[in-house]
Homo-oligomer: A and B are copies of this chain.
């Protein structure tokens, strides 16, 4: 049984920051803490009856205490949030997190490959494509791996992602309740799980609301970027198809729609409602503030870090673990980019 005394309580008792307490309690990192401080923390832990996380015992000695995280694109503000969550939960146990960026999972020199070559103890993969494979480390073994944000058909590793199906359901129901029936979808790339699942969910929720999804109202893109959103929105408008709302597969693509609609004198939400997906930083401050599916990226990153710690512990103990797939529940943030359809 693990002790019910938390690391934070030990830190408070010793009067130090919890990260200092964490390092002092971990034999592998104790030497980097001032000796007097370490003594104070250990005394506090003994007084309170603190029993450390299993990971703090039995650490392999060849560990670098560094985890790598491969992200597709740091310029999309959701990935820094994901990083911050993972970094916090790993730091708490004396691990450090390095990031490599590039949406090139599976290429000979992908971000994952680079991180493995740097001898990280584990890999958190946030840039997987559906058919991605994992690089192996120099001894031809696969490092402990956690998939986050995106899932794959090919990698047998635990994953932490958003419940995209539920998220699209929130958005479609919101638009239907406002009275929309002609709803378009700007879909993400179909080689990325989030693109596929959100597209499938859009069709499924529309049909279960008794609504049609004519092919000209679903436009696929090559990337979750503003430019791709622009291109798709232009195609949608140029097709001449009638619609009163657009469900964007993420916030950046919905921002691309904002730009094209503004250029053509089409008002959001008066003429067309627009929704995003992610609730990325600052999207509540754009004009109009965007209605979007709020994904708990920080918590998702933190949980991915926790799962990584569990993998490392089971590697230490030699016990196997069954890969788990966790999907976090998003919620809808209704803001100013959605309204009832204009009477025409």
Within 8 A of B (CB), among A40-98: 64, 66, 68, 74-75, 77, 80-81, 83-84, 87, 96-98
Chain A interface, DSSP helix/strand/loop, else mixed = mixed
Asked whether any CB of chain B lies closer than 8 Å to the CB of A173, the reply is: no
Q: Do the beta carbons of A118 and B84 come within 8 Å of each other?
A: no
- Within the complex, the shortest CB–CB distance from A246 to chain B, in Å, comes to 18
Asked whether any CB of chain B lies closer than 8 Å to the CB of A196, the reply is: no
- Within the complex, the shortest CB–CB distance from A72 to chain B, in Å, comes to 12
How many residues does chain A have at the interface if contact means C-beta atoms less than 8 Å apart? 36
- Residue ID in chain B nearest A68 by CB atoms: B98
Residues of B within 8 A of A119 (CB): 118
Residues of B within 8 A of A75 (CB): 77, 80-81, 84, 281
- Residue ID in chain B nearest A285 by CB atoms: B286
Stretch at the interface among A107-115, A202-210, A313-321: A107-115
Contact pick for A32, options B77, B109, B281, B287, CB 8 Å = B109
Docked complex Cα distance between A287 and B290 (Å): 12
Docked complex Cα distance between A119 and B285 (Å): 41
- Within the complex, the shortest CB–CB distance from A335 to chain B, in Å, comes to 12
Contact pick for A286, options B74, B83, B282, CB 8 Å = B282
Docked complex Cα distance between A299 and B127 (Å): 25
Q: Do the beta carbons of A66 and B114 come within 8 Å of each other?
A: yes
Docked complex Cα distance between A116 and B287 (Å): 43
Docked complex Cα distance between A29 and B69 (Å): 23
Residue in A81, A108, A111 whose Cβ sees the most chain B Cβ within 10 Å: A108
A64/B286 contact (C-beta < 8 A), A75-B84, A100-B96, A109-B96 known: no
- Within the complex, the shortest CB–CB distance from A81 to chain B, in Å, comes to 7
Asked whether any CB of chain B lies closer than 8 Å to the CB of A247, the reply is: no
Lowest 4 CB-CB distances: which A-B pairs, in order? Answer: A74-B80, A285-B286, A282-B282, A99-B99
